[in-house]
């Protein structure tokens, strides 16, 4: 068993090699394919990495060269990523939903010379912009379906061919490859992770081996994992949260990473694995909760009554447990009954029975969601950080979970608040800066601290960090009252009928909101109430739907301590906010400035009391990049009880 100092002295490929020396036959990776789970031991993992690495070397790829990764979560992503890093090259994560022009921009900005694609869909995107990528010499693909015509082109190479040729090369060049791996240093940059782009175009964050390994060690120091623990990899591979887990934590602690058959089957495959640890963006947890509510809504009346009773019991017990307080005997017995009669079977159906550690990050989660999951026995906790610090700097501890904070700093992390209220951090996980962007790097790391761009404060008594909002997003009413749009948006999104919300009101007389209804739950509600509809646009403008959303907003308004923050007017948007339309980041965060500019006519109508209906042009973007425009009308609704 190595101590932390030893592990921190390795690069990730060196750490992989050390894992092989310790437990060569232990399962490191597992992938479901054609209905069957295929396993890779640590030894097989390293063998694949070496086969790919020696072939990349034969292509002329070496230290500081860049190799991009585009596709869904499969073991080959790790094989190729670590192969590049074994040579001192740098991997670059690109979201599989990226459009051709976005991929072209990223590849050129990061000077990528080789690309790994999962399948034909991703390869076709490269083909579309090939003439603008003169520096890209090789494209490796994993899935050969639909690639017959491309096999005649030397620009493309199948991963299976790389394995075969790599195995041959290793017979004579194995020692040479090991020497190259030995030359790596922990402080070498090994991966570029793109920032979320909520405030503009994404930047390429330069991350090091030390950053990843330190994060893997520190987060599991606070929340220990066993080497026998299982993890399901289904978050976008380009996102820092997935890189942190499948690369940092898995390597540092030797847990098994599982890959679902596809993104669509991930939730079903989750049930077969029963992971001990799970990390998900708020949208994941919101979706699971909506699924539970739908099942309960479709159940018999008696079942609903039992569920509602034990949910209240569970919430009461959860609030005490989250605060580290003793649960009275009577409440404890009722909570135990609810857990075993109702919640354990429910959690088991979701595949979360063995879950000990569940995290959410990337955006704030509504307080009610924490209580909900803790009530049904899922130990969901908030983490807070950013791409530039490998995703996590602060985290709740067991028995100290509060919905209004993001917990305490991870071991080895320092935190302070600047004079203007910005959250600043220090740790070995802080990045080396942004690629080819010295000005932004200097701002990010000014004074030796990582500048988060978020406003917050530290409670003196508990040491917990409380997030207010992005510094640039904090709003003030015309009277000067400060409020957080993100806080109100999360309150709204706790409703199962509201998928997304955007709050307005900066320098205005009142607060308003643009709302996306949830097409699944609202669609089911409409069917139950005999309301016919054709499209999302049609459903969103139904008067009955607006009346139902009135009630949901009223619940939020009634629970706000500051009445001046109550939502007075709202509009149900005719389309879902979409990353393909650049309205959301790839991780689902609102690009607030862009959204306001795109829907400025709707926002203006929210603050014109004489307008109750607005004619708009709805622009829709399809996955192939084509757009269409539809003329429609949206209603502007007023909460009459709000002054």
Helix axes 159-182, 75-86, angle to 10 degrees: 40
pLDDT at 559: 85
Interhelix angle for 543-558 vs 485-493, to 10°? Answer: 120
DSSP state of 328: P
Note the pLDDT tens digit of each residue in 273-324: 999 999 887 878 888 888 787 778 777 888 888 888 999 998 899 888 888 8
Q: Between β-strands 27-33 and 256-259, what pairing exists: parallel, antiparallel or unpaired?
A: parallel
Tell me the domain boundaries of the chain. Answer: 9-209+235-243, 385-472, 475-638
Domain formed by 9-209+235-243, architecture: 3-Layer(aba) Sandwich (3.40)
pLDDT above 90 covers a percentage of the chain that reads: 62
Let me know: does 515 contact 571? Beta carbons within 8 Å: yes
Which tens digit of pLDDT belongs to each residue from 530-555? 999 999 999 999 999 999 999 999 99
pLDDT tens digits, one per residue of 448-466: 999 999 988 898 889 999 8
Residue 501 neighbours by CB under 8 Å, 6+ apart: 488, 489, 492, 493, 513, 514, 515, 516
Alpha-carbon distance 152 to 222, whole Å? Answer: 52
Rounded mean pLDDT, 43-69: 97
Say yes or no: do domains 9-209+235-243 and 385-472 share a fold.
no
Q: How confident is the model at residue 254 (pLDDT cuts 50, 70, 90)?
A: very high
Residue 84: name the closest of 184, 211, 175 by CA: 184
117 versus 578: the higher-pLDDT residue is: 117
Q: Identify the top-confidence range among 56-70, 560-574, 585-599.
A: 56-70
Residues 119 and 124: their CA atoms lie apart, in Å, by 9
Write the CB contacts of 386 (distance below 8 Å, at least 6 apart in sequence): 195, 240, 393, 450, 452
Residues 593-633: tens digit of each pLDDT = 889 999 999 999 999 988 888 888 777 666 666 677 778 88
Domain 475-638 maps to which CATH number in 3.30.300.30, 3.30.450.370, 3.20.20.70, 1.10.10.410? 3.30.300.30
Whole-angstrom distance, CA of residue 26 vs CA of residue 41: 5
In whole numbers, what is the pLDDT of the chain averaged over residues?
A: 90
**Looking at residue 152, what is its pLDDT?**
83
pLDDT at 196 over 80: no
CATH superfamily to which 385-472 belongs: Luciferase; Domain 3 (2.30.38.10)
Let me know the angle formed at the C-alpha of 393 by 3 and 419, rounded to the nearest 5 degrees: 135
Residues 184, 11 contacting (CB under 8 angstroms): yes
Do the strands 465-470 and 450-458 form a parallel or antiparallel pair, or are they unpaired?
Answer: antiparallel
Q: In terms of DSSP bridges, do strands 357-360 and 380-384 run parallel, antiparallel, or are they unpaired?
A: parallel
This prediction has a pTM of 0.82
- Containing 469, the helix (H) or strand (E) segment is strand 465-470
139 forms beta bridges with 115, 156
């Amino acid at each position: 068993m190595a101590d932390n100092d030893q592990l921190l002295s390795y690069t990730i490929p060196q750490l992989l090699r050390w894992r092989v020396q310790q437990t060569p036959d232990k399962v490191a990776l597992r992938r479901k394919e054609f209905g069957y789970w295929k396993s890779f031991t640590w030894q097989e993992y390293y063998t694949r990495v070496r086969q790919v690495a020696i072939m990349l070397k034969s292509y002329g790829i070496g230290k500081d060269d860049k190799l991009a990764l585009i596709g869904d979560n499969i073991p080959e992503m790790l094989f190729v990523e670590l192969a590049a890093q074994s040579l001192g090259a740098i991997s670059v994560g690109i979201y599989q939903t990226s459009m051709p022009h976005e991929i072209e921009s990223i590849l050129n900005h990061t000077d990528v010379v080789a690309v790994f694609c999962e399948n034909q869909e991703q390869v076709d995107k490269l083909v579309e912009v090939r003439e603008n990528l003169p520096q890209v010499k090789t494209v490796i693909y994993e899935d050969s379906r639909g690639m017959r015509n491309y096999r005649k082109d030397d620009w493309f190479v199948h991963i299976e061919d790389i394995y075969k040729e790599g195995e041959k090369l290793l017979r004579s060049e194995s020692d040479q490859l090991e020497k190259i791996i030995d030359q790596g240093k922990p402080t070498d940059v090994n991966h570029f992770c793109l920032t979320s782009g909520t405030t503009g175009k994404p930047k390429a964050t330069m991350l090091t081996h030390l950053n990843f390994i330190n994060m893997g060690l520190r987060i599991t120091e606070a929340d220990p994992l066993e080497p026998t623990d299982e993890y399901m990899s289904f978050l976008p591979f380009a996102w820092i949260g997935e890189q942190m887990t499948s690369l940092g934590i898995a390597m540092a602690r030797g847990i098994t990473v599982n890959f679902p058959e596809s993104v669509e089957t991930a939730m079903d495959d989750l049930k077969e694995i029963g992971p001990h640890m799970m990390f998900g963006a708020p949208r994941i947890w919101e979706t699971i909760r909506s699924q539970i509510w739908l099942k309960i809504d479709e159940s018999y009346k008696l079942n609903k009554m039992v569920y509602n009773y034990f949910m209240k019991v569970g919430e009461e017990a959860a609030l005490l447990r989250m605060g580290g307080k003793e649960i009275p005997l009577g409440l404890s017995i009722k909570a135990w009954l609810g857990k075993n009669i109702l919640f354990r079977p429910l959690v088991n159906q979701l595949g979360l029975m063995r879950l000990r550690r569940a995290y959410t990050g990337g955006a704030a989660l509504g307080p009610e969601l924490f209580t909900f999951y803790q009530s049904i026995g899922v130990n969901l906790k908030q983490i807070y950080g950013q791409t530039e610090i490998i995703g996590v700097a602060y985290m709740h501890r067991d028995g100290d979970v509060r919905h209004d904070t993001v917990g305490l700093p991870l071991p080895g992390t320092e935190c302070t608040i600047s004079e203007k209220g910005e959250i600043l951090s220090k740790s070995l996980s802080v990045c080396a800066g942004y690629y080819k962007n010295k000005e932004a790097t200097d701002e990010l790391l000014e004074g030796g601290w990582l500048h988060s761009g978020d406003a917050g404060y530290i409670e003196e008594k508990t040491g917990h960090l409380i997030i207010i909002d992005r510094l640039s997003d904090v709003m003030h009413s015309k009277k000067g009252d400060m409020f957080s749009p993100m806080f109100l948006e999360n309150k709204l999104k706790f409703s199962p009928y509201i998928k997304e919300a955007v709050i307005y009101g900066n320098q205005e007389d009142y607060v308003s909101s643009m709302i996306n209804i949830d097409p699944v739950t609202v669609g089911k509600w409409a069917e139950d109430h005999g309301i016919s509809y054709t499209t999302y646009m049609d459903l969103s403008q139904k008067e009955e739907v607006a009346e139902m959303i009135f009630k949901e907003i009223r619940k939020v308004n009634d629970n706000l301590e500051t009445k001046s923050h109550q939502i007075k007017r709202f509009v149900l948007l005719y389309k879902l906010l979409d990353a393909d339309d650049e309205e959301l980041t790839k991780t689902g965060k609102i690009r607030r400035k862009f959204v306001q500019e795109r829907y400025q006519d709707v926002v203006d109508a929210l603050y014109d009391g004489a307008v109750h209906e607005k004619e708009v042009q709805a622009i829709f973007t399809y996955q192939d990049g084509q757009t269409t425009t539809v003329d429609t009308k949206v209603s502007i609704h007023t909460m009459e009880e709000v002054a």
